[in-house]
Structure 1
Amino acid sequence: LVAALAVSLLADALASPHEVAEAGDPPRLATTAELGGSERYLTYVSTDKPIYREGESVRVRAVLLHAFNRKPYPAWAQAQLQVLGPKGDSVFNTQVQLQEGILGFAWPIPEGTAGGEHIVKVEFPWAGMAPAERKIEIRAYRPPRLNAQIVFGRDGYGPGDMVAATLHVERAEGGIPAGAKVTAIARVDGSELPQVTGSVDAGGDCVVSFALPKSIERGEGTLAMVIEDGGVVETESKTIPILVSTVDIAFYPEGGDLIAGLPNRVYLEARTPAQKPADLEGVIVDEDGRTVAEVKTEHEGRGRFTFTPKRGERYQLKINKPSGISRMFALPEIKPTGAVIQSVDDVTQAGAPVRLRIASSEREPVTLTLSQREIELASVALRGGQLVERSLCVPPEVAGTLIATVWDLDGRPLAERLVFRRPSRAIDVKVTASKKT
């Protein structure tokens, strides 16, 4: 289920770029020549971590592999490595030699480097390969002049409750900033509450209180306390522990759309307002409140269900567990015509055929294709109508992400999803500690 949902979530992001068309023309697959030829190589750039500060070194590694068989670039090549700053300006530029398809480099971040998002870009101007890049974050850092901590009076608050928070602050070099002004700024669900001011007492504490709104939808609250100690200004912030019964639900129809009169499989993902996985149980109901499907998340807030929607009907998810969530969650709009596609296997095993179920609302023939990037691996013509199962055989060496698409007679895609086929070869990695602990 996890693998199937991961494939489904990536469908919108990864499936579309292989289709190109002029304005008004039906989509078509990009040709191999347009994408760089059958012997093209692609670069993957990685860094040792995503966030840095000045004085540290950014360690860059890039691998240049064949686009299809993933073999490393066999020849010597010179790469151009560039670091672009937040404004797009080049802050570092050098040349690195590629050996056996791999290059490595370390860039010491100089003092005074502007903070923000930077881009590490690797190009091969003399070999004609496509460039690749990786985003990193450089953050300005300075030791705090004041050491502060916020403690709430309770572990949780509900709508309309009075929040009490205590700030304790000391100077980094020692001593209490007695008399320092404190401004408390609370925000709930994106709206700022009236500010509260206070001052630090002789013990280094400042107590503030404020009322939460009586109506809270998501429960996203933060408290920021600005401390002004002479010319020193520091800010300490903390999440307000607001307790509300709500979740965020995202629906992903397997083929892209919900089609009336056909069995549709739908993936869903549930998360808390803090974007943590939320497990739930519920039912899909129609406009009259009749149950048409049962829903239960299986892993990290993810699950799936199948139902056959009716034309013109609207459907909602009603959550039964956990209790206390009264909100109904609307499913995507039902389309009167189209096609659905389902993967029989969550993951296709190495060397096995790819098994798919297809149905279309019209009687006209449709074509099912299986491709990897722009290369079509297999296709089969089908009659429109009820759900049928087909197995597509592809060469045993084909592995990874494959694109399954249903096309109409005019060459327009009706439904599409990604499937994953395991590689026939694997690398086993074993890590052994040098000492017993």
Structure 2
Amino acid sequence: VALAWAEVLKLTGRFAEAAKLQGVPHAKRVQPPPTQEELKAHAEATARRAVRWRLVRRLTAAIAIVLMCGFIGLRFARRLPNSPPLPLRLQASSVSDGVRSKPNQFQFTVSRGDRRVFATPAMLRFEVQASNATLHRQNVNTDQAGKAAFTVPASLKLPKDSRLHVMAVAPDGSTSAYTTFPLEPTRCLTYLTVDRPQYRPGETILFRSLTLERHSLRADVDVPIHFELRDPSGAAVPNAQRDGVTQRGVGNGAFQLPASATGGEYTLVARSLDNFFPEEQRKFQVQQYRVPRFKKQIEFKRRSHGPGDLVEADFSASRAEGGPLAKAKVRITATVDGREVAKQETLTSEVGTCIVSFRLPEHIADGDGQLAVSIDDGGTQETQVKTIPIQLGRVNVDFYPEGGPLVAGLENRVYFAAKSTLGKPIHVAGQILDQQGREVARVETVRDGLGSFRFTPTRGERYVLKVVQPVDVTNAPELPAAVNGVPALDTGRGVFAADEPISFKVRTESALPVLVQATCRGVSVGEAKFTLGRGSTSLKLPISANVGGVIRLTVSNTLTTPATPLVERLVFRQHDAQVRVKLLGDASQQQRSPGDPLRLTLQVTDENDRPTPAVLGVAVVDDAALSLDEHERPALRTHFLLTSEINKPEDLEHA
């Protein structure tokens, strides 16, 4: 091994010698010494490199420090708790038509913090509650603008204490907002009736009520109801109270009068236990009386008379079992202040009627007048007495310019109602005079103390009514003061067919953009914008289908925000829905003796004569007893469509 290793070393030495190269001989170069300029340039370059190096070191150190701080801050931030989310803001507003809010319709906006960032899509939870009970639940998501709308379902029956509770929840569920506000309760109308206008002590009073939803007039709202009977003093009659729930809108029952009941005017009261409808009353008489054999009626042609006036009245009589009192003897007696002023005898016509006519004296002291008409068929004699409406001395006249204000410089139609000092409608005729005593219009009531006239008021002028009939009226009722700057409204007859729009005229002294709205029983049924020209502008406002009854027409100025109501008027639109009841069978089969049973078959059809289901109320009563009612009462249809929407429906007795 040693010999082999020696040979290897010898061989490698030879390779090393062979690898050596022989260089070419050359002379050694000597570098000349640098000049002053080169030394100066070298020094400046060295200084610049030193400055750059210091900047690099400082920048590197700064970056290192920043990275280190960021690393430390990140580790620290990871150890901190999460920051709380921005609070939600829930903004609510009622949906408006520009003048008034729409009932139970709302708009909501959900935002974060300062309201500039919308929370989308946030979830809104709605709950309708009343009397600690939940009536309705619904969830709605907001749109990209953070907005959502909600309308309380029309089918909900909302008591007076109903409230809407709203909770907004953020998209991630991290935060929420809450609000609540009252809701417009369900409004109903009730018609109350009894089977007779007059009862004896000890008799039974049969009564019935019908409750309908105010706008649709549908019997789809059943409500708790309370009935009670009050005596003439207003006290509750013992054992004459009853509570219940209407069925298909109907409530009914019976109260028995005590045998010792005092005579006078009693009142039946129907009241909603949940305040769904206003208290309804029906008055009737309780007294001892004999059931008349004849049906008798006296109808004056005028509602009031003065000294010297001609009194005219229509008298009619028929038998209680049916058929006119033809050629019966009639005795007529008229008294004024206890003194007989007329006495006549005549016969009824073939249809049981006659005309009563006499003149009042020229001088009347107290105005206590009575007209008595006695009829005798040869076996029975009965008398009908009615007070003669006499007006003395003073009248009360209320003026109602169409649209509200009396407008100067424009033609106005003015309605008026004349009443006596006792509040009874009276007939008047007279002149409208200005401050100089000049006549500007003549007026006269048409009937029931109601009338209208037209004239153009002058700015700054005041007007009075000089009554010339009755002749002894001493007061001069004043018209309201005329105003400037508003339109004058003219709706023509004020009554419109079921399928036609509301046509009317608006007079103004200058061009004006307006919003015209129609509301029926609290619900908007028509709306349009118009531009009024100077003078008279004819307009037509389309109305929703199947809408009838009293409609409130409002004209508002759209130059203001919100629009400002200027003039307003009630008009009537006829209702096309009808229910017709027909008695089927031969009339001879309906003739029965007292005590006999009777079966009736009724058929109910709609306005197109098609059979329709209905809830019927039937009362069997002596027809002669109905003639004892001296009050004219609205029928069921009139009550729901007209008188329930008027402040004083008694003023429209024959309207």
Q: Which amino acid aligns with 1:46?
A: L
| Matching of residue 423 in structure 1 with residue 575 in structure 2 | yes
Q: Displacement of 1:324 after TM fit?
A: 5.4
SS, match of residue 413 in structure 2 = strand
Q: Which residue of 1 aligns with 2:441?
A: 293
Using the alignment, how far apart are the partners of 2:454 and 2:209 within structure 1?
A: 43
Q: Comparing both structures, which one devotes a greater share of its residues to strand?
A: 1
The structure 2 residue matched to 1:38, chosen from 121, 142, 154, is 154
Q: Distance in 1 between matches of 2:531 and 2:501?
A: 21
**Structural mapping, 1:12-411, within 5 Å:** 28-29=100-101, 31-32=103-104, 38-39=154-155, 40=186, 42-48=188-194, 55-73=202-220, 79-83=225-229, 92-96=240-244, 98-110=246-258, 118=267, 120-123=269-272, 129-130=276-277, 132-134=279-281, 136=283, 219=366, 244=392, 246-273=394-421, 277-321=425-469, 323=471, 325=473, 327-360=475-508, 364-383=512-531, 385-408=534-557, 409=560, 410-411=562-563
Q: Distance in 2 between matches of 1:32 and 1:90?
A: 41
Q: Identify if the C-alpha distance between structure 1 residues 78 and 270 changes in structure 2 by more than 3 Å, giving closer, same or farther.
A: closer
Note the alpha carbon deviations across 1:96-132, whole angstroms, 9 max, x for none: 353333221111234677988756234365xx84464
* Equivalent-residue separation in structure 1 for 2:471 and 2:234 (angstroms): 49
3-state DSSP class of the match of 2:477? strand
- 1:79 positional shift: 4.3
| Separation of aligned partners in 2, 1:351 and 1:38 | 25
Q: Is the 8 A contact 1:124 1:131 kept in 2?
A: no
2:103 counterpart SS class:
coil
For 2:470 and 2:237, the matched residues in 1 are separated by: 52
Does the 8 A contact of 1:117 with 1:138 survive in 2?
yes
Provide the rounded CA distance (Å) in 1 between the counterparts of 2:225 and 2:430: 54
**Residues 1:28 and 1:285: Cα distance change in structure 2 (over 3 Å):** same
Q: Which letter maps to 1:44?
A: T
Q: Quick one: which amino acid aligns to residue 270 of structure 2?
A: K
Amino acid at match of 1:417: R
Q: Distance in 2 between matches of 1:268 and 1:243?
A: 17
Once the 2 structures are TM-superposed, how far is the Cα of residue 348 of structure 1 from its aligned partner? 0.2
Distance 2:445 2:390 in 1: 24
Q: 1:324 to 1:421 in 2, by over 3 A?
A: same
Which one is further off, 299-308 or 362-371?
A: 362-371
Alpha-carbon spacing, 1:135–1:28, altered in 2? closer, same or farther (3 Å): farther
Aligned-residue offset at 1:401: 0.9
| Matched residue count | 326
What TM-score results when the alignment is normalised by the length of structure 2? 0.41
| Unaligned segments of structure 1, at least 5 residues | 1-25, 143-156, 159-185, 187-215, 223-238
Q: Which moved more, 1:316-325 or 1:58-67?
A: 316-325
Contact 1:401 / 1:418 at 8 angstroms: preserved in 2? yes
Q: Which residue of 2 aligns with 1:414?
A: 566
* Displacement of 1:416: 1.4
Instruction: Call closer, same or farther: CA 1:113–1:31 in 2, change over 3 Å.
Output: farther
Task: Give the whole-Å Cα distance in 2 for the aligned partners of 1:119 and 1:30.
Answer: 35
C-alpha offsets along residues 190-240 of structure 1, whole Å, 9 cap, x if unaligned?
xxxxxxxxxxxxxxxxxxxxxxxxxx9x95679xxxxxxxxxxxxxxxx99
Aligned residue in 1 for 2:70 = none
Q: Is 345-354 or 47-56 further displaced after alignment?
A: 47-56
Deviation at 1:281, TM superposition (A): 3.7
Residues 37 and 317 (structure 1), Cα distance of their counterparts in 2 relative to 1, 3 Å cut: farther
Q: Which has the higher contact order (CA 8 A, sep 6+)?
A: 1
Q: Secondary structure at the match of 2:252?
A: strand
- Matched letter for residue 317 of structure 1: L
CA contact (8 A) 2:198 2:287 kept: no
Q: CA deviation at 1:400?
A: 0.9
Displacement after TM superposition at 1:425 (Å): 2.8
Q: Distance in 1 between matches of 2:428 and 2:242?
A: 52
Q: TM-score if structure 1 supplies the norm length?
A: 0.59
Distance of aligned partners of 1:421 and 1:31 in 2 relative to their CA distance in 1, 3 Å threshold = same
SS in 2 for 1:330: coil
- The two structures, once aligned, show a CA RMSD in angstroms of 4.6
| Residue identity in the other structure for 1:402 | I
Query: What is the SS of the residue equivalent to 1:329?
Result: coil
Q: Which has the higher helix share?
A: 2
**One-letter amino acid of the structure 2 residue matched with residue 249 of structure 1:** V
Deviation track 1:164-199 (CA, whole Å, cap 9, x = no partner) reads xxxxxxxxxxxxxxxxxxxxxx9xxxxxxxxxxxxx
Letter in 2 for 1:400: G
Secondary structure, aligned partner of 2:543? coil
Could you tell me which amino acid in structure 2 is paired with residue 47 of structure 1? T
